[in-house]
Amino acid sequence: MLVLSILSLRAIIKNNKLIKVNLEQPVTELRATLKKELEQAGWRVNRSNAIFLTAHKERRWTIGSKIAILFKNDEAHINVQNMYGSGYFPFSFGRNKRITDAISKLIKSGETSGLLNQLL
């Protein structure tokens, strides 16, 4: 029981981490690109302004995801978390890392290659 508690705590701490990515293009262009790519991949963009972009993707039979991207001083900070109904599910089985990596790649390259559509 103690081992399970420690693993759960580790997963929660890991999920609440912000991934930092240096920006290669202006925030306004990047935000528009991210919004377009997320919407094409089936995400619902909740907010998009000069400071942050938030979106979520609900799933009918599996666990959904929510994402926050903060823009500050030529950097983007990305956080992806699982969403289960109105609650929180601490285990992503690698999906959050794949989403974070895809968004990081999009931010670094600026190319809209449809990578998000394939992954998400």
- In whole angstroms, give the CA distance from residue 101 to residue 52: 18
What values do phi and psi take at 22, rounded to 5? -75, 140
Q: Residue count of the chain, please give it.
A: 120
What are the residues whose beta carbons fall under 8 Å from the beta carbon of 19, sequence distance 6 or more? 77, 78, 79, 100, 104
For residue 81, what is the enclosing H or E element? strand 75-83
For residue 23, what is the enclosing H or E element? none
- Report, as ranges of residue numbers, the positions in the chain whose pLDDT lies below 70: 1-2, 4-16, 60-62, 84-92, 110-120
CATH 3.30.310 assigned to domain 2-119? The reply is yes
The structural domains of the chain, with segments of one domain joined by +, span 2-119
- In whole angstroms, give the CA distance from residue 55 to residue 40: 12
pLDDT at 53: 93
pLDDT at 44: 92
Q: Are 76 and 94 in contact (CB under 8 A)?
A: no
pTM for the full predicted model: 0.77
pLDDT at 84: 65
